Structure 1
Amino acid sequence: MLSSCVRGPWRCPPGLTRLSPGRFMGTHGGTDPKERLNSPKRAKEFIYRLQPADRACLLQELREFESMAAAQGQQEPPPLTPAQIRLILLHNGIPFVGFGFLDNAIMIAAGTQIELSIGVTLGISTMAAAALGNLVSDLAGLGLAGYVEALASRLGMQGPDLTPKQADMWQTRLSAHLGKAIGVFIGCVLGMFPLFLISEDDDEDEKKKKKSHPKS
């Protein structure tokens, strides 16, 4: 899902920044709120987290969205074309390839180093080292998520031109979630490449050296 003011194909006006994702990477929490904004309290909490330029951008896009919806009235929305569905899949999937890749790659690399260093010294289990590696991956995601979004935006992949009613169709939402799932899956698989660089025999030798020379 490329950065956008709202969940749709409309862009922010020139000169205004887009909403930063603020998400963890990979399969961790995303930009979508865990609870729907169906109460004034939740809506206020969401608005207070935005920057002034983001609020201005969001307000303008909401006004355009509502005016388009009012103009359409009770018209039946046209069905999504195969080209629109493909764009929705790509638009939502490409950034999540990057998130999944970085999430898995950092977690594996950090977890391995933690197990060979802190793990041997403190005698923690492999699962505990993996949990610490996941912690490092999450912390890295706080700083790298914005760069992934910026890189995805530079690819020029824009969402399809949808009407407000089309944006609310279940086919649109399903395609968006499917695109994210496919993107995360591909990214996580690609992010397993550190496993090819790690030899189990080398790990065992390193652990033995650490245990025999704990102060080194």
Structure 2
Amino acid sequence: MRILVVQHDSELAAVISGCLRRISFDVDVAADLIDAGHKLGGTAYHGLVTDRAQPDGDVLRLVAAHRRAGWTRPVLMLTALDSHAERAALIEQGADDYLVKPFNTAELATRMRILCRAPVVPAQASRLRVGDLQRGRHDGRFTRAGVPLSLTVTEAAVLQALMLAGGALVTRDQPAKCCAGEQHQPESHAVDTLIGRLRRRLGPPDPIQTVRGIGYRLVDPA
């Protein structure tokens, strides 16, 4: 698997790259957003490790743009700010997980390994449709009423599981597996947070029906 590290500090980039290579990832490094954009446009990366603050701007803009274009690979964000507002912004704008600096490199490697085990939405020949929700036949992108959805890898994995169930109940175990990289929350809260986030991405009317204490199913609100 190939990971892109976006880090302007060359010494820190070398440390991050080294810890990822030790667990058998191939690693490329980008020093700024322009370099990262070029690399993401030309290489099929399996994940992204990036510092939020880059010399030429906020990396969340780059992540959000690629999410809108259908990129569903996991993003691990590094940040110097440890506030509720900062954490919420990172997740809402496309990160799958985050680490507050200074961080432990062994934890970074573990989190990235877990994130890359999460199921990535494949670009299969089959097309899924539930109401006005659809996964594309060729590109695997999700849309609602024809409008592309900006989803993280965990959100896309849960939505795909709900769509594949065809209206049948999906137990909480399925989204719980996708929360392996969600930090600072007990598992039950992580699942609730993930489903709540997915509902906000989908917008009204809410197509996710909760079966309290058991799981969720996808319904056609119409």
TM-score (norm 1): 0.23
Higher percent of residues as strand = 2
TM-score, structure 2 normalization: 0.23
Higher relative contact order (CA 8 A, sep 6+): 1
